[in-house]
Structure formats: structure tokens, C-alpha cells
């Protein structure tokens, strides 16, 4: 494509009052190698007249547009010109709104940003979609509990073929084992009949859903749109094509036999699961002698929020005990239900149900640390507790004790096995072999034929719950096209699980549809580009396959990497990892960013700092700072990149050899309370940066000129100061000695 | 030496919880133990403050912990707690209900249950009505013209209902009965309170004296915020009753000491004191009703038990004043029935005092003495 440039400068939103537009026009024309009068200036470029002006230019052949106006994060519908390379230059937020008006410094910032935009447009190419052949849109749902059934129905109702795989002989999961369920509607007073049976009927009758019962997944190969799934039922295997997965394998109750300290083992100490069975029989009777129970004690967090057992809250047990207290009260008005809790946690509207239950005179609640259960004669027990609201130490007689046990995700056992395998692997091949021989292999759920392992990974410290980008995209896992829903990813009530299932179904639909269009699935859901390596220069160092967070890069028999492009999220981590710098996207490459850095004007009497800002959180935070009219240090030039993981170390060389005094990477926080959109981009960048520091030291260039700073999207107010401090540190070090060369 | 923490055995009494709810504490179960109530309460001692713990005991049906607890009476139902409760649990109303149950608990005659329950109201009134009817009906006094007049032809109530024996014996008997019930009640109450409490020994007379002085000054009412004006209204009613008690005593002296029979002229000191006290009672009780209606949103609307007591006082004041007015105006057809009603209400007030909210004066005073005596309060 022969590029015909169109350069536009908007004067609106105080851009025109902050900089000298004529001078900016001249400098931009010089860089774009066009006549100054060919640069179009408009008072309000996003107005119909402004857009018409651009439209007319496109009709006359303009196909490479550089638009100096507002942030690319806004007005993206107005400035959407299919078929044309469109580069947005952020003159409004980064210049007009965050710099002192009409100073030389401000003018040179505008010049630099326009120049970098033009360079990017010059170097970039128009993306074309990469659509793989023979795609399937079938959605496989793993698990036939409330989550799986809901996902299956939602996807099927939206017109997609669904295959539901259930391990048990019957659909319904735990939801089908309940006597009644927690109310889900205002006024949250009446217990509901289990809704799951209706869903089972609907699923079994739905023409778009095929159900495999007593079934397991033997093998899953391929990538989104092109999965080959082998399902085994009653000894026979069948391989089907599928586009996406919903992982709703559910949970198991915590093993109560480990709760001897709470009296489990005494026949009249039962779990909340057993309580459902008893309630189904009619009266609430106790197991030891079949006598009706009139003093029922519920012990909350039985094995939950306990470092010795399950350290987490299982979310539904409080509401479940309140529901079971209602069984006790409804079946006998003279009976009392006594609830001993650490905290009552009834998330969301379930709070109203809690308030209603609390209002029942026969439902007695107290905060308590239950210390034990002792014998009170006649099969009765004393619940002994400390730190209660009733007194320091109390004993309450009960004729039935219900332990509110929590949940263990179905993924936990496989995950523990795999974690053990990884640990053993670190000790060498022999240890690994010994581990495999000595440890019973659990039943895997997905049996992925991925080099990264047979299951979707678990987050570190997530107790074996299935992967989830819990901050932003809870249903997304690191395995593109596989979405987790329900209790397998986080403890939740049935109402929440149903919502979760619908969300995961939408994600699966997004996946198969985007794959069909040849665009990134998510989070860059608009992105038509894809990694396009120059394989001739590949040294098979495997760094890309190791570092790709999504397992999108595999190796052939010879060990040469190749992309399974539908798994790719277009973060560019491979581009950052590649020491040969062979990975490029049409509009994002090592060369493009390097050239932009080199395009920045550097003068000897001024410090110049480059900020490579993550597009996902850091860049919006900078925009927010500017919208709040916070001043951004005039010495910095901000370049957005897809993810800090895409930072290639050659850019450091590019910057310092050019005479840039400092380089700052601005990316997502890492650690347990924040998540990078691309899982570990900023963490990876930090790792790579540590290597750079060694190199810089050797070059007698101060390593402190480089710094990676983590920022949360909400910290925009602190961001200008964080930048100022970095600039001050660089100023203390002094000018880059390479400036003179 | 660290205090040994005793393990408390708790046996919830569901009927007690239901009883509190039925007695005006229907919001009881809303409490979620945030303790805002104890923080805003200005009358509680700092150590083991109320009413949070009382709310918990009440929710768990711990009757033993509550009925014999002096703290339930140290509460003056300012309703600051009720106004600030974030969940509308109305601790003030709940404690009011608990006090009612405590009164009933320590006055264990069938009358206790009946006074607290509206369905027995007519039966309770029937007792004095029938009693007084039994005095006058045989004489044919239901026909008012048959009632003898005074020397100057005016209405003389003692001719309608003789002071002796009808009035004096009846009311003496009622007062004696009430006093007996009170004596039994507070003896048991004191014994229950003393269980497990560390009494200081020392001089109980001092505690009694301090308590009486405090009651006379109504100091504690000043600590209330929401129901600030209650000090005036309660003080008026309190001193009105005191005035009326003195009036009654004087009347006895007049009658039995000086053989000076009623009615007395309006300039007589006894009459002046009596009339001023009656007006004070009327104004006071009107303020009480007004304050209660005005504060209902913040402080709660009050229970049947409260309102019965207030209405009886109201009726005593109104019937007393109107009986006098109708007598002076010589309107026999209104005067005799009003006086009759007055006797019925006064009987109701005194004979049923140990079972009605009237008992609060005895139990609250006892609890206040006890609290001082045990250093719970100083």
C-alpha cells in the first residue's frame, strides 16, 4: 500500500490556546514530508464538519491519517476510519491539559508527540485479519451443576451449539441435593424449591444442547475455534470439534472427618450437606435416636477461615445455615436454631434474607469462637465457645449440631498434584520421575494437551481455585477460550453462580465470534493485528514459548516455535522476549517504538525522560491525571505500549544512545491484590530490567536512569508526583554522558 | 490475680423472647450488636454498660439474666439509644418490655398477667365498678335524686359514697394489698440481685438517702437528649402525686382529728394544695402524652403497658377535676357518675400498682439503691 498522508490538528478543547498551531503545523509537515498547507487544522475536529473534511481526504486517496487531537481513549467512534492507518496523537490530555500554556517546553512536547505519531504511521502497516480455516463455534460446558446448566442454556439460547459434559450419572450437581434453596428475590422471606430441576429439563430438551452424562474429557487439543475434544462415556471415546470451553466443574464439601475438634464423629454432629438430607425426610431428627431436634446449633466457618483447614471464606455457608435454621423453625415453632459465627457474611441482597431470619425469635445468633463440643447426656451436647457476645466463656446445650463446612474446588486435587510435580521437577529429572511413580495421579478435568500443563492454571495462593483475572475479567483464565464459572473459580451462592455462568457464556461467545473474524479475543477485543515473526532469523531459543502467558506458542518436532494464533492475546510479550527482535505486529514492533524514541528531540541543556506506559492502566491513569488538570513534568515524553511485557531491551539502548537521560517503565502493580491484564507483563519487564541494570553498570551508565514503577489505575492523583520524583533522581545523577556524541 | 472466667451455661427460653416481643419489644431481634446504644447512653455506668448486653440476653431468651438485673431499672428510657440505633432495634422499648416482664415476675399473682394484657382490661375495671356499685345500688343511689344533699343543699360526695367504711376501708385494703405485693416483690428482687453481686456492706441508709435526694431532684433525666423535656413532665406528675398524697393525709387529719368533714371551702389550705396538685397532674400528664407523641418517631410509640398507666393517670386527674367542677356547678347528673369514675380509676391505679407501670417507682428506686450499695453507681 502506497501511503498517502493526511495530518490533522484539532484546536478544540483548549489545544489552540496552549500551543502555537502554526509552528506545530510547520514542524509536523517537515516530519511528514508534506507541504505545511497540506496539514489540516480544524477548530473542532470531531464535529461533523471536521469529520467530513477527513472523509473527503480519504475519498481523494488519503490512507495514513495522523490525528493530533484528544487521547486515543476517547472519541474512538468518531475517529474510526476503516481501511486507513489511523494514528492518534494525544495533544489534548498530554499537552493542553497537563502543561503550562504557550511555553517553549510545551511547544516542543507537542512537536515531539506529533513527530512520534507520524513516525509510527510511517513505519506501521494496515492490519489484515488472520482467519484460520474450519472453525467451530460449538461451546463445551464442563460440569452439569447450576453453573454449567446455566451456561449451557444461555449459550444455547443465544443460538450456539453446546456440548455439556457431566461426570455424574445425573445432572444438577449439589443444587439437586438441596431440600430448599436460599431466596433469590425480594422480600427474601420464602425459601425456594430447588430451581435446578427446571433447568435440567430445559437443558435436556434443548435442541442446541448435547448432554454427555457419566462422561469425562480424555483429551483437549488445539486452540479456540479449533479444539479437538475427546469425550469418554461408558468406555467409548468420541472426538468433537469445539470453539470454546466453559469450565464449571464445581466443588466438593470440605472433608468433615478432619473436624474432630468440632465434634465430628459424634453421630449428632452433622454437616450442612447431611442437614439437607435430613430436612428432605420431613422432621428435623437427629441421627443417634431419631428424636426430633429442638435445639439445633450451627457452627459457622467449620474448617473455613482457618489456617489449619481452608483459609478462605466459602461465601455461601452463612446463608445456608440461615436457610437451614428456617427448616428448623418452620418444621417446629418451639424449636430454636442457634448460630455461632465468626462474622455473618451474606453477600449482596442475601443480607436482606439474613435480616429477615435474624428477626425470627427462635433464631439466635452470636459471634463466637467455638472451642469444642462436650457431652451433655442423653445424646445432647454442649457447644463450648469463647469471645462471644453473651460472655467470655459460654456453654449452650444442643441436641443437634450442624457444621457449616465450606467448599473445595474440583480443581484443587489436580492442581496440588501438578504443583508437586513442578516442585519435584525443580529438583531434577530423577525427583520428577520418583514423584510420578510415588504419587497417585488424580483425575484431570480438561486434560489439555498444552505444553503448560493439563489444566487451567491456578493463581498463586488461590487454594486451587481455577484461574481468574479477578480484577477486571473474572471469567477469563490464562487459557484463551476457556472460561471458568461458578464455585470452581471462587466460592459463591447459587444466585451468584447463575450470574457467573451467564457471564462466562458471553465470554465463550465473544471468543468464537472474534476468532471467526480473525481478531484478538480479549482484552484487545478490537485488535486485528497478530504476531508475525520473521522465522528465518529465529534461533529457537524458546524464550517466547516460555514467557507467553497464554501458552500461544508451541514448538514443532525440531523445536522451532510456532504460534497457535487463536490463543494469542496480542500483548507482545513475545516481542519483548525475543533477543533477535523478530516478532512484529503491523502497527507495533521493536522498530516502530525504537524509532519513536529516537525521534524525540534531545538538547544538551535539558533533561529528557521517556516513559513507556502500559496502555491498559498506566496510560488511562495519565489521562485521568490530565483530565483533573494535574501538571505532568514537561521533561517527559510518554509512549504507550501494549503491555510492559512487550518491552524489548533494545529500546533501552535506543534511548540512551540517543541521549535520553532517563527511562521509566510505567505498568500495572503485581502481587496478590492487583493483576496485569496480561497476567505478568510488568513482572516480566521488571525481571528483564534487572538484567539491563547489570549491562548499564558495565557501560559506566548509572543503572538508576532506568526504573520500573508500578501504578494502579486509581492512583492517577499520585502519578504526576511519582514522575517528578523520578525526574529529580535523574537530575541528581546528571545528564546522559552520551548526549555529546 | 487475674479473675477466673466462669463458664456460663446458657439455656435459651424461647417463650421469654416471644414475651418481650409481645410486650412492646417487637424490634428486639433487629439488634446486631454494634453497641451504638451503649455509646450514646448517658445514664449507663462505664463498666459493663447497658443496653447492648441486655439486648443480647433478650435475644437469647436469658430471662434469669434480665429480670433480676438492676441495670434494666437504671435505664430511664431516655430513648437516645433508640434514636441512634442504626437498625431500628429500639433498645429503649425492649428494656421497657423487659421491665414489664420483671414487674410481673416479682408480683406473681394472676393479676400481673392480666394488667399486662389488653384482653383482661374490662375484667380489671369490673372489679372496682362492681365493688362500688355494690355500695350504692342497694341504697337506690342509682337514682341521683335519692342521694341526700348537704346542709346548704349542695352536692356532698360523702353522702353518695360514705367515707367510712366504704371509701376508707376499700382504699386502705387496696393500699395494704399493694404494699404487701411490693414488699414481697422487692424482697425477692433484692435477694436475686444480691446473688453473684459483690455487696459493699456498709451503710445502706446512705445509699437510700442519696437515691431519694436524686429522685427528688430528677437529676438523671437531665442526661437524656432525645426526651429532654421529659424531666419537666415527669417532675410535674411526680410532685403532683406528692401534693395529692399530702392532701389525702391532711384530709384524714381533718376528718378523724378535727371531725371536719368535706367538702372544704376553696380557700382552705388543703383545698388549695389539692387543686394545685390536681392541675399539676393534669398538665404534667398532658406533657407526658405530648412528648411521647412528638418523640414517637425517634423513641418508639410505647407499649400497651405504658399507655394504660398514662391513661389511668389522665383519667384520675380529669375525673377528679371534673367531679369537683360539676359538684360546684351542682350538675348532679354529671357530678355523681364522674365521681364514681374517679373512684374506679383511683382504685385501679393503687390496687394494681404492683402489676402496672406504677410499680416502676418502687423497683427503679430499689435498683438505684442497690446500684449505689454495690458501687455499680456512685
DSSP readout, B76-89?
A: ----HHHHH-TT--
Where residue A518 falls (left for φ over 0; alpha for ψ -120 to 50; beta otherwise) is left
Q: Residue ranges of chain B with pLDDT lower than 50?
A: 1-2
Cα distance between residue B271 and residue B282, in whole Å: 16
Residue B14 and residue A355: Cβ atoms within 8 Å? no
Residues A197 and A269 in one domain: no
Q: How many CB atoms lie within 10 A of CB A279?
A: 21
Residue B59 and residue A364: Cβ atoms within 8 Å? yes
Quick check: A521 and A569 in contact, CB under 8 A? yes
Cα distance between residue A637 and residue A99, in whole Å: 12
Cα distance between residue B142 and residue A414, in whole Å: 96
Residue B7 and residue A393: Cβ atoms within 8 Å? yes
Residue B7 and residue A364: Cβ atoms within 8 Å? no
Residues B55 and B180 in one domain: no
Nearest to A392 among B5, B12, B62 (CB): B5
In a domain, B6, yes or no: no
Q: Where among B106, B140, B162 does a domain terminate?
A: B106
Which residues of chain B are within 8 Å of residue A338 when distances are taken between CB atoms?
Answer: 12
Give Rg (Cα) of chain A: 31
pTM (predicted TM-score): 0.88
In a domain, B205, yes or no: yes
Residues A308 and A220 in one domain: no
Residues B133 and B245 in one domain: yes
In a domain, A400, yes or no: yes
Q: Which residues contact B339 (CB under 8 A, 6 or more apart)?
A: B157, B160, B161, B319, B323, B327
Quick check: A341 and A297 in contact, CB under 8 A? no
Residues B166 and B267 in one domain: yes
Residues B140 and B252 in one domain: yes
H-assigned helices in A378-493 = 412-426, 429-438
H-assigned helices in A291-410 = 317-331, 350-358
In a domain, A184, yes or no: yes
Binding-face residues of A in 275-314 toward B, CB within 8 A: 295
Closest residue by Cα to residue B341 from B359, B325, B318, B361 = B318
Q: Is B5 on the interface with A (CB under 8 A)?
A: yes
Cell 486509581 belongs to residue: A714
Q: How many CA atoms lie within 13 A of A429 on its CB side?
A: 0
**What backbone torsions phi and psi does residue B7 show, to the nearest 5 degrees?**
-80, 125
Mutate to test the interface with B, among A345, A383, A384, A390 (most CBs of B within 10 A): A390
Residue B33 and residue A384: Cβ atoms within 8 Å? no
Three-class DSSP category at A680: coil
Q: Which residues of B45-68 are buried (b: 16+ CB within 10 A; e: fewer)?
A: eeeebbbbbbbbbbbbbbbebbbb
Cα distance between residue A247 and residue A484, in whole Å: 5
Q: Is B48 on the interface with A (CB under 8 A)?
A: no
Residues B314 and B276 in one domain: yes
Which residues of chain B are within 8 Å of residue A396 when distances are taken between CB atoms?
Answer: 9-12
Residues A324 and A458 in one domain: no
Q: Which residues of A521-531 are buried (b: 16+ CB within 10 A; e: fewer)?
A: bbbbeebbbbb
Q: In angstroms, what separates the C-alpha of B270 from chain A's closest C-alpha?
A: 53
pLDDT of residue B1: 40
Closest residue by Cα to residue A408 from A214, A673, A141, A174 = A174
Residue B56 and residue A384: Cβ atoms within 8 Å? no
H-assigned helices in A40-103 = 48-59, 91
Q: Which residues contact A463 (CB under 8 A, 6 or more apart)?
A: A310, A311, A312, A409, A412
Q: Is B10 on the interface with A (CB under 8 A)?
A: yes
**CATH at A301:** 3.50.50.60
Residues A591 and A740 in one domain: yes
Residues A593 and A738 in one domain: yes
In chain B, helix, strand, coil percent, each to 5? 70, 0, 30
Nearest to A389 among B21, B28, B33 (CB): B33
Residues B99 and B136 in one domain: no
Residues A468 and A400 in one domain: no
Q: Is A129 on the interface with B (CB under 8 A)?
A: no
**What backbone torsions phi and psi does residue A404 show, to the nearest 5 degrees?**
-85, 85
Cα distance between residue A330 and residue B300, in whole Å: 30
Closest residue by Cα to residue A208 from A306, A138, A286, A130 = A138
Q: Is A397 on the interface with B (CB under 8 A)?
A: yes
Cα distance between residue B264 and residue B247, in whole Å: 12
pLDDT of residue B200: 63
Q: Is A343 on the interface with B (CB under 8 A)?
A: no
Q: Where among B106, B129, B144 does a domain terminate?
A: B106
Quick check: A88 and A117 in contact, CB under 8 A? yes
Which residues of chain B are within 8 Å of residue A382 when distances are taken between CB atoms?
Answer: 9
In a domain, B208, yes or no: yes
H-assigned helices in A3-91 = 15-18, 21-32, 48-59, 91
Q: Which domain holds residue A42?
A: 1-126
In a domain, B115, yes or no: yes
Query: What is the 8-class DSSP label of residue A217?
Result: E
In a domain, A187, yes or no: yes
Mutate to test the interface with B, among A391, A395, A397, A399 (most CBs of B within 10 A): A391
Residue A394 and residue B8: Cβ atoms within 8 Å? yes
Q: In angstroms, what separates the C-alpha of A256 from chain B's closest C-alpha?
A: 27
In a domain, A433, yes or no: no
Cα distance between residue A128 and residue B128, in whole Å: 102
pLDDT of residue A688: 87
Which residues of chain A are within 8 Å of residue B55 when distances are taken between CB atoms?
Answer: none
Three-class DSSP category at A693: helix
**What backbone torsions phi and psi does residue A240 show, to the nearest 5 degrees?**
-125, 160
Chain A: residue nearest B29 by CA?
A: A359
In a domain, A319, yes or no: yes
Residues A33 and A104 in one domain: yes
Going from the C-alpha of A522 to that of each of A469, A479, A486, A519, A641, the distances in angstroms are 12, 12, 21, 9, 16
In a domain, A557, yes or no: no
Residues B219 and B188 in one domain: yes
Q: Where among B106, B127, B162 does a domain terminate?
A: B106
Residue A393 and residue B5: Cβ atoms within 8 Å? yes
Residue B10 and residue A396: Cβ atoms within 8 Å? yes
Going from the C-alpha of A605 to that of each of A181, A608, A705, the distances in angstroms are 73, 10, 17
Which residues lie across from A192 on neighbouring strands? A181
Q: Is B60 on the interface with A (CB under 8 A)?
A: yes
Q: Which domain holds residue B49?
A: 14-106
Residues A150 and A176 in one domain: yes
Q: Residue ranges of chain A with pLDDT lower than 70?
A: 673-674, 740-741
Q: Is A78 on the interface with B (CB under 8 A)?
A: no
Cα-Cα-Cα-Cα dihedral sign, residues B170, B172, B175, B178? negative
Going from the C-alpha of B210 to that of each of A331, A717, B220, the distances in angstroms are 54, 62, 13
Q: Is B33 on the interface with A (CB under 8 A)?
A: yes
- Give the count of domains, chain B: 2
DSSP string, A94-153: IIITTS-TT-HHHHHHHHHHHHHHHHHHHH-------PPSS----EEEE--SHHHHHHHH
Residues B101 and B37 in one domain: yes
Residues B62 and B128 in one domain: no
Q: Where among A407, A431, A462 does a domain terminate?
A: A407
In a domain, B355, yes or no: yes
Residues A403 and A504 in one domain: no
Residues A707 and A616 in one domain: yes
Distance of CA B59 to the CA centre of its chain: 26
**What backbone torsions phi and psi does residue A600 show, to the nearest 5 degrees?**
-70, 130
Quick check: A475 and A451 in contact, CB under 8 A? no
In a domain, B172, yes or no: yes
Residues B132 and B61 in one domain: no
Residues B147 and B284 in one domain: yes
In a domain, B95, yes or no: yes
What ipTM score was computed for the predicted complex, to two decimals? Answer: 0.88
Residues B64 and B124 in one domain: no
Q: Which helix (H) or strand (E) holds A156?
A: helix A146-157
Q: Where among A486, A501, A517 does a domain terminate?
A: A517
In a domain, A38, yes or no: yes
Sheet with strand A40-42: strands edge to edge: A40-42, A5-10, A64-69, A85-90
Give Rg (Cα) of chain B: 23
**Helix axes of B91-106 and B14-22: crossing angle, nearest 10 degrees:** 110
Residue A396 and residue B11: Cβ atoms within 8 Å? yes
In a domain, B101, yes or no: yes
Where residue A130 falls (left for φ over 0; alpha for ψ -120 to 50; beta otherwise) is beta
Q: In angstroms, what separates the C-alpha of B3 from chain A's closest C-alpha?
A: 12
**What backbone torsions phi and psi does residue A202 show, to the nearest 5 degrees?**
-60, -45
Residue B56 and residue A359: Cβ atoms within 8 Å? no
Cα distance between residue A308 and residue A303, in whole Å: 8
Residue A395 and residue B9: Cβ atoms within 8 Å? yes
**CATH at B39:** 1.10.1060.10
Closest residue by Cα to residue A249 from A331, A140, A350, A108 = A140
Three-class DSSP category at A274: helix
In a domain, A582, yes or no: no
Which residues of chain A are within 8 Å of residue B6 when distances are taken between CB atoms?
Answer: 393
Residues A591 and A737 in one domain: yes
- Give the count of domains, chain A: 4
Cα distance between residue A594 and residue A373, in whole Å: 69
Which residues of chain B are within 8 Å of residue A384 when distances are taken between CB atoms?
Answer: 7
Q: Where among A474, A495, A517 does a domain terminate?
A: A517
Grid cell for residue A351: 443480607
Q: Which residues contact A67 (CB under 8 A, 6 or more apart)?
A: A8, A10, A45, A54, A79, A86, A87, A88, A89
Closest residue by Cα to residue A720 from A640, A625, A641, A606 = A625
Q: How many CB atoms lie within 10 A of CB B254?
A: 16
Chain B: residue nearest A295 by CA?
A: B12
Cα distance between residue A667 and residue A632, in whole Å: 17
Residues A632 and A667 in one domain: yes
Burial (Cβ within 10 Å: 0-12, 13-18, ≥19) of residue B75:
buried
Which residues lie across from A679 on neighbouring strands? A676
Cα distance between residue A340 and residue A361, in whole Å: 16
Q: Which helix (H) or strand (E) holds A482?
A: strand A482-484
Amino acid at each position: 500500500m502506497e501511503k498517502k498522508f493526511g495530518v490533522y490538528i484539532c484546536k478544540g478543547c483548549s489545544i489552540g490556546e496552549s500551543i502555537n498551531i502554526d509552528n506545530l503545523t510547520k514542524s509536523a509537515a517537515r516530519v511528514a514530508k508534506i507541504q505545511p498547507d497540506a496539514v489540516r487544522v480544524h477548530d473542532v475536529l470531531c464535529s461533523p464538519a471536521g469529520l467530513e473534511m477527513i472523509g473527503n481526504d480519504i475519498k481523494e486517496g488519503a490512507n495514513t491519517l495522523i490525528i493530533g487531537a484528544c487521547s486515543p481513549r476517547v472519541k474512538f467512534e468518531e475517529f474510526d476510519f476503516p481501511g486507513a492507518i489511523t494514528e492518534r496523537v494525544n495533544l489534548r490530555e498530554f499537552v493542553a491539559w497537563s502543561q503550562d500554556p504557550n511555553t517553549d517546553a510545551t511547544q516542543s512536547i507537542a512537536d515531539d508527540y506529533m513527530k512520534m505519531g507520524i513516525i509510527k504511521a510511517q513505519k506501521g502497516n494496515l492490519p489484515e485479519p488472520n482467519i484460520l480455516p474450519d472453525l467451530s463455534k460449538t461451546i463445551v460446558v464442563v460440569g452439569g451443576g447450576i453453573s454449567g446448566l446455566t451456561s449451557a442454556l444461555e449459550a444455547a439460547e443465544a443460538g450456539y451449539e453446546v456440548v455439556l459434559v457431566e461426570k455424574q450419572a445425573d445432572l444438577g450437581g449439589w443444587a439437586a441435593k438441596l431440600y430448599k434453596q436460599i431466596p433469590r428475590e425480594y422480600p427474601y422471606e420464602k425459601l425456594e424449591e430447588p430451581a435446578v430441576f427446571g433447568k435440567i429439563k430445559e437443558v435436556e430438551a434443548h435442541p442446541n444442547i448435547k448432554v454427555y452424562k457419566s462422561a469425562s474429557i480424555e483429551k483437549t487439543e488445539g486452540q479456540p475455534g479449533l479444539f479437538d475434544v475427546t469425550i469418554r462415556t461408558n468406555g467409548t471415546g468420541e472426538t468433537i470439534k469445539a470453539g470454546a470451553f466453559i469450565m464449571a466443574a464445581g466443588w466438593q464439601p470440605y472433608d468433615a472427618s478432619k473436624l474432630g475438634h468440632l465434634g465430628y464423629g459424634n453421630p449428632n454432629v452433622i454437616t450442612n450437606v447431611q442437614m439437607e438430607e435430613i430436612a428432605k425426610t420431613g422432621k428435623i431428627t437427629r441421627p443417634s435416636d431419631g428424636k426430633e431436634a429442638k435445639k439445633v446449633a450451627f457452627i459457622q466457618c467449620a474448617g473455613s477461615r482457618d489456617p489449619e483447614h481452608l483459609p478462605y471464606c466459602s461465601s455461601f455457608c452463612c446463608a445456608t445455615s440461615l436457610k437451614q435454621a428456617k427448616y428448623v423453625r418452620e418444621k417446629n415453632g418451639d424449636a430454636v436454631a442457634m448460630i455461632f459465627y465468626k462474622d455473618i457474611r451474606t453477600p449482596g441482597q442475601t443480607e436482606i434474607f439474613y435480616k429477615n431470619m435474624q428477626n425470627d425469635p427462635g433464631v439466635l445468633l452470636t459471634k463466637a469462637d467455638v472451642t469444642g463440643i462436650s457431652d451433655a447426656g442423653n445424646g445432647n451436647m454442649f457447644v463450648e465457645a469463647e469471645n462471644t457476645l453473651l460472655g467470655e466463656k459460654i456453654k449452650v446445650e444442643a441436641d443437634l449440631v450442624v457444621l457449616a463446612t465450606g467448599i473445595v474446588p474440583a480443581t484443587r486435587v489436580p492442581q496440588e498434584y501438578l504443583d508437586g510435580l513442578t516442585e519435584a521437577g525443580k529438583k531434577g529429572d530423577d525427583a520428577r520421575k520418583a514423584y510420578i511413580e510415588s504419587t497417585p495421579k488424580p483425575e484431570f478435568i480438561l486434560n489439555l494437551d498444552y505444553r503448560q500443563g493439563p489444566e487451567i492454571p491456578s493463581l498463586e495462593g488461590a487454594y486451587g481455585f481455577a484461574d481468574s483475572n479477578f480484577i477486571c475479567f473474572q471469567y477469563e483464565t490464562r487459557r484463551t477460550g476457556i472460561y471458568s464459572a461458578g464455585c470452581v473459580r471462587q466460592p459463591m451462592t447459587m444466585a451468584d453462580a447463575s450470574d457467573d455462568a451467564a457471564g462466562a457464556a458471553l465470554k465463550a461467545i465473544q471468543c468464537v465470534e472474534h476468532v471467526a473474524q480473525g481478531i484478538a479475543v480479549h482484552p484487545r477485543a478490537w485488535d486485528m493485528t497478530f504476531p508475525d515473526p520473521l522465522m528465518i532469523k529465529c534461533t529457537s531459543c524458546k524464550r517466547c514459548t516460555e514467557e507467553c502467558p497464554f501458552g500461544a506458542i508451541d514448538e514443532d518436532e525440531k523445536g522451532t516455535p510456532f504460534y497457535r494464533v487463536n490463543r494469542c492475546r496480542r500483548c507482545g510479550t513475545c516481542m519483548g522476549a525475543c533477543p533477535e527482535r523478530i516478532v512484529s505486529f503491523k502497527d507495533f514492533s521493536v522498530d516502530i517504538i525504537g524509532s519513536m524514541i529516537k525521534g524525540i528531540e534531545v538538547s544538551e541543556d535539558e533533561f529528557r525522560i521517556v516513559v513507556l506506559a502500559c496502555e491498559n492502566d498506566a496510560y488511562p491513569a495519565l489521562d485521568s491525571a490530565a483530565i483533573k488538570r494535574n501538571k505532568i513534568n514537561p521533561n517527559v515524553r510518554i509512549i504507550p505500549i501494549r503491555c510492559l511485557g512487550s518491552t524489548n531491551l533494545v529500546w533501552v539502548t535506543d534511548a540512551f544512545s540517543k541521549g535520553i537521560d532517563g527511562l521509566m517503565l510505567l505498568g500495572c502493580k503485581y502481587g496478590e491484590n492487583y493483576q496485569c491484564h496480561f497476567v505478568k507483563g510488568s513482572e516480566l519487564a521488571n525481571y528483564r530490567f534487572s538484567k539491563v541494570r547489570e549491562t548499564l553498570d558495565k557501560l559506566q551508565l548509572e543503572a538508576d536512569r532506568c526504573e520500573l514503577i508500578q501504578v494502579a489505575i486509581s492512583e492517577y492523583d499520585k502519578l504526576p508526583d511519582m514522575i517528578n520524583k523520578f525526574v529529580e533522581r535523574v537530575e541528581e545523577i546528571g545528564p546522559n554522558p552520551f548526549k555529546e556524541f | 490475680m487475674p479473675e477466673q472466667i466462669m463458664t456460663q451455661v446458657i439455656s435459651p427460653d424461647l417463650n421469654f423472647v416471644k414475651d418481650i416481643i409481645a410486650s412492646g419489644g417487637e424490634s428486639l431481634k433487629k439488634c446486631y450488636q454494634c453497641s451504638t446504644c451503649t455509646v450514646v447512653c448517658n445514664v449507663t455506668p462505664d463498666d459493663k454498660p447497658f443496653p447492648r448486653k441486655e439486648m443480647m440476653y433478650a435475644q437469647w431468651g436469658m430471662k434469669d439474666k434480665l429480670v433480676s438485673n438492676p441495670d434494666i431499672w437504671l435505664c430511664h428510657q431516655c430513648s437516645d439509644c433508640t434514636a441512634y440505633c442504626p437498625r431500628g432495634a429500639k433498645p429503649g422499648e425492649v428494656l421497657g418490655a423487659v421491665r414489664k416482664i420483671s414487674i410481673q415476675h416479682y408480683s406473681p399473682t394472676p393479676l400481673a398477667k392480666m394488667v399486662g394484657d389488653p384482653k383482661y382490661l374490662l375484667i380489671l375495671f369490673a372489679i372496682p365498678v362492681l365493688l362500688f356499685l355494690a355500695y350504692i345500688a342497694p341504697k337506690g343511689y342509682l337514682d341521683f335524686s335519692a342521694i341526700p344533699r348537704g346542709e346548704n343543699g349542695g352536692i356532698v360526695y360523702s353522702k353518695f359514697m360514705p367515707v367510712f367504711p366504704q371509701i376508707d376501708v376499700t382504699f386502705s385494703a387496696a393500699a395494704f394489698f399493694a404494699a404487701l405485693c411490693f414488699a414481697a416483690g422487692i424482697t425477692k428482687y433484692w435477694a436475686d440481685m444480691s446473688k453473684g453481686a459483690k455487696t459493699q456492706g456498709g451503710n445502706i441508709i446512705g445509699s437510700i438517702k442519696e437515691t431519694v435526694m436524686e429522685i427528688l431532684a430528677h437529676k438523671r433525666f437531665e442526661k437524656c437528649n432525645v426526651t429532654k423535656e421529659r424531666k419537666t413532665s415527669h417532675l410535674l406528675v411526680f410532685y403532683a402525686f406528692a401534693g395529692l398524697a399530702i392532701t389525702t393525709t391532711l384530709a384524714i387529719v381533718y376528718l378523724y382529728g378535727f371531725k371536719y368533714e368535706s367538702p372544704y371551702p376553696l380557700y382552705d389550705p388543703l383545698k388549695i394544695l389539692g387543686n394545685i396538685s390536681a392541675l399539676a397532674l393534669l398538665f404534667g400528664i398532658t406533657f407526658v402524652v405530648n412528648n411521647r407523641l412528638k418523640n414517637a418517631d425517634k423513641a418508639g410509640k410505647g407499649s400497651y403497658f405504658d399507655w394504660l398507666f398514662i391513661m389511668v393517670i389522665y383519667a384520675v386527674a380529669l375525673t377528679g377535676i371534673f367531679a369537683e367542677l360539676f359538684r360546684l356547678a351542682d350538675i348532679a347528673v354529671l357530678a355523681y357518675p364522674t365521681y364514681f369514675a374517679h373512684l374506679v380509676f383511683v382504685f385501679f391505679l393503687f390496687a394494681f400498682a404492683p402489676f402496672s407501670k406504677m410499680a416502676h417507682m418502687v423497683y427503679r428506686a430499689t435498683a438505684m439503691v442497690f446500684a449505689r450499695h454495690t458501687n455499680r453507681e456512685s
